[in-house]
């Protein structure tokens, strides 16, 4: 009431506040100058522990691996002994994935939609390190590893 400048001041203040508040999310994943406020990947735990596939009474080694919208496999490294291995891939996100296994014959899950699960059974005789990349997201670094010891 006191001054006609007020609307302008309020508007300006609102704009300033809006930019300040939205700051980090405002310009998306890559953030502001020098990536200030960018979306950073989760802090890398020093060398994610390898999970060991558990051998059942039938001699088959089993493990469940989750795949998610962060384009991660958890666990990222699975270790097992030579033999029959049953890998259960559970997609806990919404984005489809397709995990390939090269042992060295190519096999894999095929498409796994969001919230879907796929089981792959492989027979590995040779010790070695076998990659498990996602065929859709390999370029974005989505790959796990199967280590046969």
- What's the closest the beta carbon of residue 61 comes to another protein, in angstroms? 21
Q: How far from 66 is each of 78, 103, 136, 139, CA to CA, in Å?
A: 12, 20, 16, 19
Q: Contact between 140 and another protein (CB under 8 A)?
A: yes
Closest to another protein by CB, 53 or 72? 72
Closest to another protein by CB, 86 or 136? 136
Q: Contact between 92 and another protein (CB under 8 A)?
A: no
Interacting residues of 10 by C-beta distance below 8 A, sequence separation 6+: none
Q: Contact between 143 and another protein (CB under 8 A)?
A: yes
DSSP code at position 44:
P
Contact with another protein (CB under 8 A) among 5, 46, 58, 59? 5
Six-digit token string for 28: 């998306």
Strands 51-52 and 54-55, bridge-based pairing: unpaired
Q: Contact between 46 and another protein (CB under 8 A)?
A: no
Question: Could you give the CA distance from residue 103 to residue 96 in angstroms, rounded to a whole number?
Answer: 23
- What's the closest the beta carbon of residue 109 comes to another protein, in angstroms? 11
132 neighbors 101 (Cβ within 8 angstroms): yes
Q: Which stretches of the chain bind another protein, using CB under 8 A? A: 1-12, 14-15, 18-19, 26-30, 32-35, 38-42, 44, 69-71, 94-96, 98, 100, 102, 104, 108, 110-111, 113-114, 126, 128-129, 131, 133, 135-143
């Amino acid at each position: 009431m006191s001054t006609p400048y007020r609307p302008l001041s309020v508007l300006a203040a609102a704009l300033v506040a809006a930019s300040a508040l939205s700051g980090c999310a405002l310009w998306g994943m890559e953030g502001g100058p020098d990536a200030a406020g960018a979306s950073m990947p989760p802090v890398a735990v020093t060398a994610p522990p390898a999970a060991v596939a558990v051998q059942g009474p039938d001699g088959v080694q089993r493990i469940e691996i989750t795949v998610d919208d962060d384009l991660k496999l958890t666990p990222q490294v699975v270790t097992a002994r030579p033999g029959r291995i049953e890998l259960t891939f559970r997609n806990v996100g919404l984005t489809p994935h397709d995990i390939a296994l090269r042992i060295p014959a190519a096999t894999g899950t095929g498409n796994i939609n969001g919230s879907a699960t796929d089981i792959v059974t492989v027979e590995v005789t040779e010790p070695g390190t076998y990659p498990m990349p996602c065929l859709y997201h390999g370029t974005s670094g989505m790959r796990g590893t199967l280590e046969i010891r």
